[in-house]
Chains A and B, each alone.
Chain A
Amino acid sequence: MSLVTIVDYGAGNLHSAAKAFERMANGLGGITIEVTANPDRVRAADRIMLPGVGAFADCKAGLDAVSGMVEALEERVVRGGVPFLGVCVGMQLMASEGREKVVTPGLGWIPGAVEKIAPSDPALKIPHMGWNTISITRPHPLLSGIPDGPDGLHAYFVHSYHLVTESADTLLATTDYGGQVTACVGRDNMFGTQFHPEKSQALGLQLIENFLRWTP
């Protein structure tokens, strides 16, 4: 039985994320989904998902407030090579730093900064909220089977900030909202989506299934 932990640090719609993971896990079999605030359970996990909604600094403070959690993530994800999926602010936390209201250090796994999106068309609303298609810039196992481009499937976004990567190598997919907006980042065993796979119907469920099958 393999264990997938969803990290509970007080930020995020954990129930709906867990339900989407459970649905895809049931189809594959042999997988347990566990929502936990216990670093020891994260250490025991075969895969780790980090959610997050709200402001970058609040999420980082929330994660830091769970004693031993950042250490457990560093140990298993950075040094242990366990497959990791960050979603929304959970993805943004992978950056070197966040620049939302104040400058806050991130986990530093993906060199780059989280900056406010700046659509070229002033009529475009902020947050970027709703369904948009993505453009895959670097093929990745987690994006396999997902049609992209203007006629591709849609992902559900809700955000005002995005992760601007220092290197083009870690930018895996983008969307367009009055300019290029980061949709997916990753390197090695780490992957992050700005959109919400657990809310993105067909596209999201495919990505979650890909994550549950992924052997980086």
Chain B
Amino acid sequence: MTLKTRLIPCLDVMGGRVVKGVQFVDLRDAGDPVEAAIAYDAAGADELTFLDITASHEGRDTIFDVVARTAEHCFMPVTVGGGVRTIEDIRKLLLAGADKVAINSAAVNDPDFISRAADKFGNQCIVVSVDAKQRLDQRVGGDNRSEWEIFTHGGRKPSGLDAVEFAVAMVERGAGELLVTSMDRDGTKSGFDLKLTRAIADAVEVPVIASGGVGTLQDLVDGVKEGHASAVLAASIFHFGTFTIPQAKAYLRDHGVAVRMDAPAAA
């Protein structure tokens, strides 16, 4: 018996609708995140992540409805990220049926928020999003900095924080898991930033989810074997129907990565 590597599809949601089209054959409404979630559940996804990229404050309430409706149909862990800034935001998402929340900007702006959130809800439901980019100046080593810097606002705003130091500090404050995204690789389909993933995974005790850049199934294997990730997250390769969840799992299994191959729960 071994703990299995988790395969996590991510759905980008804006105003209650899936932003990128999801190519499932049987969906009545491919833009409905709940329909997509149900399809991923049936396909054997190990967890599901909703990333709420709604820009306006007014539109944000739609995510609570999405989570609540998903919880009625999908009996697997659900993580929600995007715009999580207050204890009340977390409480509302957990009450709606989320199991974990992913926190990015608020963790950078106010590290103590992570301590308070972990104390309140438990480390297990606090995921910190580590959005990192390679530094432009490569003077690494002299000042003990790693090669990567933390960015916020979807990779647009540099924080000046060192990515590995930030990751370690967040775990000390109570993050139960880290979602490590290479903002250089995100959307490029050129594979995870394996050096970044490994640098953080080896520096912390908690599980790391590798994210950003998956283009092939081998990228998933590399994220686990080379990047030392406990879970791999991908969006585009599943949304656009390049690969299915069962294909990805079979590939992982055939390349020596232990995955869960249970038949899905009867609907």
Contact = CB atoms under 8 A, between A and B. Distances in A.
Interface string B161-203: 0000000000000001100000000000000000000000000
B176 A176 contact: no
B77 A156 contact: yes
Contacts of A202: 262-266
A55 B205 contact: no
Interface centre among A129, A149, A175, A176 (most CB of B within 10 A): A129
Interface residues of A, number: 45
B94 interface: yes
Interface residues of B, number: 40
B109 interface: no
A165 B261 CA distance: 31
Interface string B43-82: 0001000000000000000000000100110011110000
Contacts of B205: 125-126
Given A19-B97, A176-B2, A130 B46 contact: yes
B106 interface: no
Interface string A117-147: 0000000111111111111000000000000
Contact of A129 (B41, B78, B230, B263): B230
A132 B4 contact: yes
B6 A127 contact: no
A131 B123 CA distance: 18
A53 B122 CA distance: 7
Interface stretch (A8-16, A68-76, A185-193): A8-16
A156 B125 CA distance: 14
B189 to A, nearest CB: 26
A200 B47 CA distance: 10
A199 interface: yes
A156 B76 contact: yes
B231 to A, nearest CB: 7
A203 B262 contact: yes
Contact of B121 (A53, A133, A134, A150): A53
B206 A177 contact: no
Interface in B240-267: 260, 262-266
Given A131-B260, A199-B77, A205-B265, A15 B6 contact: no
A13 B122 CA distance: 11
A127 B76 contact: no
Contact of B95 (A14, A130, A150): A14
A97 interface: no
A62 to B, nearest CB: 11
B32 interface: no
Interface of A: 11, 13-16, 19-20, 23, 53-55, 58, 124-135, 149-150, 153-154, 156-160, 175-177, 196, 198-205
13 contacts: A13-B97, A13-B98, A13-B99, A19-B72, A20-B75, A58-B122, A125-B205, A129-B176, A130-B6, A130-B46, A153-B262, A201-B265, A202-B262
